[in-house]
Chain A
Amino acid sequence: MSFSWDPLFELLEPISADVQLFARRIARSNSDGDDLFQEAVLRAGAKLETLRERDRFRSWMYSVVVSVHRTRCRRAFWRRMVSNEGVPEPSDDTLWTADHASARRAHAALATLAAPQREAIVLFELHGYSLEEIAEIQHASLSSVKSRLMRGRDRLRRYYTELSSSPTQIAEEAARG
């Protein structure tokens, strides 16, 4: 049996833009998000056989992105532990121009959240997914998703409160990651 990417891309075609947007929004920059998306596609190709119901491909694909995202977050953690270096600067230069200050602040704010909180906030606030759909994507209970959204919002609120009281310091911290 020879392997082909065709079945995956046939399913992916109608939703690829949404999935790529999700990857970009939970990553630290557009280019990091593109890398995340690419890695997720690669993993999805290897795992497609485990998809039981084609109707659930959308949530399944989002789950793959979530899984790859968590793996990358763990890698970043260990890289920092081993090398004693900070998180690398986002490689997407356009993100750091003055024209995108607001988007940059959103990225920086989201970066302060734990990965599951960040995913839940992005799925809920930007992609309009319901709590039940997010629970399916994150393989979590409904109460966990609610908790993640609540804690994520609390954290964002603290971030913006601190930002308004000490904007320079927070911006520098955000830039350092």
Chain B
Amino acid sequence: MADPWTTDLAALDTHSRSGLRSLAQARAALPEPEPKMRFFKAHPALAALIVIALLGLFTPVAYAIVDRVFLSVDVSKSETEIEQDLRDQLAAAGHGSATVKATKTDHEYAIEISSDNPDLGKVSFQIAAGGKTYNVNLDIPPTLTQDQGMAVGEAASQALQRPNHETDAAVQQQLETALRAAGLTDFTVVIRELEVTIVVRK
């Protein structure tokens, strides 16, 4: 014996098919894409983002090995506070000319540091977010283009926000693929649970 709702569900089946909207209509009702959507914006679980952009053209001759710059970032602070905090830290490390831009949207932060000083390529970040402390070590040679510098920063961001089920090796492989896609040929990526190190040689 059929269930009492069988006839009604069949009617619902028919009724729901009437006047279906085309996919083109659905698409037309969507908002225009944002002109630029950074890779990491699609990751809602993101705790912190780092973008290192080295502006200007440098000559390798001018490159001098100096002490690594250590920066700490507290993402619970406001954009303005983070910017000022990082400026102070950079100035204390002898990089007073560096510019810092922090952007905060919901749980996402983008931190962009620009400098025409090639020594700033060796930076270690200690990022406090969500009750955890992440360590990001970047070595970027002054010969990188801005896009390549961005790619390194995005790779570090990707490592920070990886899903829990992904292994270190899997994430490392993804990052290496991304860096190669950015035109980098000689680099080292080391990933541990809360730490990512990216050393780019060329």
Report A's interface with B, CB cutoff 8 A.
Answer: 1-5, 9, 12-13, 16-17, 20-21, 24-25, 30, 33-34, 37-38, 41-42, 45-50, 94-95, 100, 102-103, 105-107, 109-110, 125-126, 153, 156-157, 160-161, 164
A45: B residues at CB distance < 8 A: 30
Q: Tell me whether B33 and A13 are in contact (CB under 8 A).
A: no
With a cutoff of 8 Å between Cβ atoms, the chain B residues found around residue A156 in the complex are 3-5
Nearest 4 CB-CB pairs, A to B?
A102-B11, A3-B37, A103-B15, A106-B8
Alpha-carbon distance A94/B14, docked complex (angstroms): 13
Main secondary structure of the interface of B (DSSP, over half): loop
A72-B70 Cα distance, complex, nearest whole Å? 46
- How many residues on the B side are at the interface (Cβ–Cβ under 8 A)? 34
B30 touching A46 by the CB < 8 A rule? no
- Summed over the interface, the residue pairs from A and B with CB atoms below 8 Å come to a total of 98
Determine if B30 and A42 form an interchain contact, defined as CB atoms under 8 angstroms apart.
Answer: yes
Asked whether, in the complex, the Cβ of A3 is within 8 Å of the Cβ of B34, the reply is yes
**Are A103 and B8 in contact, CB atoms less than 8 angstroms apart?**
yes
Q: Is the CB of B30 within 8 A of A5?
A: yes
> Smallest CB-CB separation from B10: which chain A residue?
A102
| B132 CB–A CB distance under 8 Å | no
With contacts A1-B36, A45-B30 taken as known, whether A16 is within 8 angstroms of B8 at the C-beta atoms is no
